[in-house]
Amino acid sequence: MPDSKKHLTLIAFDYGLRQIGVAHGQTLTATAEGIAIIKASDGVPNWDNVKTLLNEWKPSLLLVGLPLNMDGSESELSRLARKFARRLQGRFNLEVLMVDERLTSHDAKLSIREAGFGKKSSKIDLTKIDHLAATLILQSWLDQPNLGQQP
């Protein structure tokens, strides 16, 4: 677990098989904001796009959402998210923590509806959901840093 007294810049990833939501935040103001959606093919992103984001934002810690079942058990997607986290750690030599994301997609859909982005009769833009889900993952860690676990 990182030193909580040190100012940290973070990048969070909402892992998915077709796209990965990305958010940026920092501990000084304890705020997070969505910054990008990275397309993925079977869960594998274009690593050059990831590298570009990391070079631009220069994070000291990476977070990856851990998609657990509602009962806390792991699924195939959990295993793939952990694999993605280990690859991030290996490729970029940065600390990576996993954060339980069980309700972030649900919360993201709710937030989009409340903001008027997804009218009842229209289809919700999934890229906005991934973007917001990454922000919620990061914000949940900022609110409770002890939530992070090793991949």
pLDDT tens digits, 63-94? 999 998 888 888 999 999 999 999 999 999 99
CA dist., res. 142 & res. 121, Å (int): 35
pLDDT tens digits, 11-34? 999 999 999 999 999 999 999 999
Q: Which tops the pLDDT comparison, 112 or 16?
A: 16
Please report the sign of the dihedral spanned by the C-alpha atoms of residue 16, residue 94, residue 56, residue 111.
Answer: positive
pLDDT tens digits, 33-53? 999 999 999 999 999 999 999
Global pTM value: 0.83
Burial of 105 (0-12, 13-18, 19+ CB in 10 A): buried
Looking at residue 39, its pLDDT comes to 94
What domains, with CATH codes, occur in the chain?
9-147 (3.30.420.140)
Helix segments in 13-75, DSSP class H: 47-57
Q: Over 60: is that where the pLDDT of 135 sits?
A: yes
